[in-house]
Amino acid sequence: MEEVHRQELEAELDRMLQASTPDPDEDRWTIACIQQMY
């Protein structure tokens, strides 16, 4: 069940990153926050 939730979260993250202007620092910060949630 948690694997499904993780896939949904990663899909949402992909949409967020594609919608925003490319910013490597911001991308790393967002990914770090998500990793801390697990």
| Integer CA distances (angstroms), 11 to 2, 20, 27, in order | 14, 15, 14
Provide the number of structural domains found in the chain: 1
Whole-angstrom distance, CA of residue 5 vs CA of residue 11: 10
The confidence score (pLDDT) of residue 15 equals 84
- pLDDT one-digit tens code per residue, 3-29: 888 899 888 888 877 766 566 677 788
Q: Look up the pTM and report it.
A: 0.41
The confidence score (pLDDT) of residue 2 equals 78
Asked whether residue 33 carries a pLDDT value surpassing 60, the answer given is yes
Q: Which domain holds residue 18?
A: 2-36
Say how many C-beta atoms besides its own lie within 10 A of residue 17's C-beta: 15
The confidence score (pLDDT) of residue 16 equals 79
